[in-house]
Amino acid sequence: MHRARPLLVKLALVSVALASISCGGAAAPARVTSPTTPAELRVFDHGVDLVDDPDILGGQWRESWGEELQARVGAADIIQVVRVNSAQATRIPDRGASYRLDIEPDGDALLGASTDIDLLSTEGDGGYVSVDRNQTRLLSTDFVLYIKWYSGEAGAIGAHWHLSPATPAVVRRTQYLIERRRTAPEDQSRTVVHEN
């Protein structure tokens, strides 16, 4: 009985390794840089926002969007522009309905090593409804993908993620915050970027 458990763990790890090879193989291996906080789970929600131009937002909406973007960029392990090739609805036993998004990187990563993985959004994830309601739009837009790696069951590494439209305004703000992160990492408290 005790020998069966290590065998199952080894089989699970081999399965994870094979799955990661099938989802990109050539990319650098995922590495968890820090535990995910509850605040980070809110911004890496396994969902999508469709704000093409943050400047059209007003008041609290604009401020919230800027704060969420800063939190994402400040905690992300990978940021890259991607295209969603397909959104497949599935049902995972004991977890409910889900969507598996097949993505394709578009150029080099803006931060971290480029990756080609499938993204999973499951009922109960904060962003599930945004994926469910926008399946068609997901397939017609390039997105900025923000990934925060986490350690899951049996040590498997998973991705908490969020997608934002890869419009010039969103990419510019993301690049600005990446540069701030690189040059002044201690000053990640609060920066809201406004462009006129």
Does residue 24 have a pLDDT over 80?
no
Does residue 128 have a pLDDT over 50?
yes
* Partners of 98 in the β-ladder: 90, 122
Assess contact for 175 and 110: CB atoms under 8 A: yes
Does residue 27 have a pLDDT over 80?
no
Mean predicted lDDT score pLDDT of the chain: 83
Does residue 10 have a pLDDT over 60?
no
Lowest average pLDDT, out of 8-12, 56-60, 134-138, 142-146, goes to 8-12
The label of the residue with tokens 């599930």 reads 128
Does residue 5 have a pLDDT over 90?
no
Q: Where do the structural domains in the chain lie, given as residue ranges? A: 4-183
Does residue 8 have a pLDDT over 50?
no
Does residue 4 have a pLDDT over 90?
no
SS3 149: strand
Residue 187 confidence (pLDDT): 60
Of 94, 97, 77, the C-alpha closest to 150 is: 77
* Partners of 144 in the β-ladder: 81, 164
Does residue 111 have a pLDDT over 50?
yes
CA 116 to chain centre: 12
pLDDT confidence tier of residue 21, bands split at 50, 70 and 90: very low
